[in-house]
Amino acid sequence: MLKLSPCVEMLWKDVPFPERIRRAAAVGYKAYEFWSWWDKDLDAIERAAKDAGLATAACCANTPWSGEDSMVNKGSAKKVAKAVKDCIPVGKRLGCTTFIITTGNELKDVPRDEQHNACVAAMKAAGKVAEDAGLTLVLEPLNVVVDHKGYYLSSSAEAFQMIKEVDSPAVKILFDIYHQQVGEGNVVRNITRNIDKIGHFHVADNPGRNEPGTGEMNYEFILSQIAGSGYAGYIGLEFSASDPARTDDIMRDVLRLAEV
């Protein structure tokens, strides 16, 4: 069975954040995930997860999207490594070993190869911190067509090349199936040919970024291919419910995809 984890940033928005974790458990999930930990009540999140008996599948490292600290800047390696080091106590509190990292937005006046190399250098430094701490960092390419115009890393090919260059067992790709469908398509082939470099998935249908079954994507087939690849990590459900008033029912239906 596939392991699914609702992203509670985008679901059950009508209730306080910690309660969303309890709602995920109430409809049958065994894990949850979220984005930023540095601007939330970690005590409340930790209590809710323990009360609900849910694992924390993933959350983000505080890697900025702009400014000198973003990964695309030459010399950012120490700052990115520090952002990952800051995740270590959070990981211990929440039992979380997977942290999402982002490149940030592209620099218009800097050649792309220099930005690429800066990202690789930063991930090498951060990867050493992650290796020593028993963490996995997952770098996320995003689409620049609809949702994240200006973001540096949109190509899965470049993302996989970066992981090859970093050459660390602690640094992999977060393959967001929605973003890659919007940006480039060919998702199954890109996934199955590079499954050893993928440490986490995100799921949403397209168009609309709602639950599977609301758009053009054949998620039963896509997820069956992931299951057949031997992938054993989590698949994050990073979408908004098409009908927020029916979120519980929708999430129960989506849970059935774990059995493809």
Q: Which residues contact 182 (CB under 8 A, 6 or more apart)?
A: 143, 145, 146, 147, 206
The domain in which residue 254 lies consists of: 3-259
Element (H or E) spanning 161, and its range? Answer: helix 156-166
Number of independent structural domains in the chain: 1
Model confidence pLDDT, tens digit, residues 125-165 = 999 999 999 999 999 999 999 999 999 999 999 999 999 99
d(CA 157, CA 170): 19
Look at residue 194 and give its three-state secondary structure: coil
Model confidence pLDDT, tens digit, residues 116-130 = 999 999 999 999 999
Tokens, residue 118: 């800066």
**Count of C-beta atoms within a 10 Å radius of residue 246:** 12
Tokens, residue 179: 């973003």
**DSSP assignment string, 50-104:** HHHT-EEEEEE----SSSTTSTTSTT-HHHHHHHHHTHHHHHHHHT--EEEE---
Q: Which residues contact 86 (CB under 8 A, 6 or more apart)?
A: 38, 61, 62
pTM: predicted TM-score of the whole model, two decimal places:
0.97
Q: What is the CATH number of the domain that holds 121?
A: 3.20.20.150
Closest CA to 236 of 260, 205, 200: 200
Give me the tens of pLDDT residue by residue for the chain, a chain 260 residues long.
Answer: 999 999 999 999 999 999 999 999 999 999 999 999 999 999 999 999 999 999 999 999 999 999 888 999 999 999 999 999 999 999 999 999 999 999 999 999 999 999 999 999 999 999 999 999 999 999 999 999 999 999 999 999 999 999 999 999 999 999 999 999 999 999 999 999 999 999 999 999 999 999 999 999 999 999 999 999 999 999 999 999 999 999 999 999 999 999 98
- Spatial contact of 71 and 118, defined as CB atoms under 8 Å apart: yes
Closest CA to 72 of 118, 127, 111, 138: 118
Q: Which residues contact 147 (CB under 8 A, 6 or more apart)?
A: 179, 182, 209
Side-chain-side CA neighbours of 259 within 13 Å: the count stands at: 5
Tokens, residue 195: 């499954």
Please report, as a single letter, which amino acid is at residue 229.
S
Closest CA to 23 of 250, 258, 238, 243: 250
Q: For 129-249, list the strands marked E by DSSP.
A: 136-139, 171-176, 198-203, 234-237
Closest CA to 203 of 230, 222, 184, 225: 222
Model confidence pLDDT, tens digit, residues 47-60 = 999 999 999 999 99
Tokens, residue 152: 């540096």
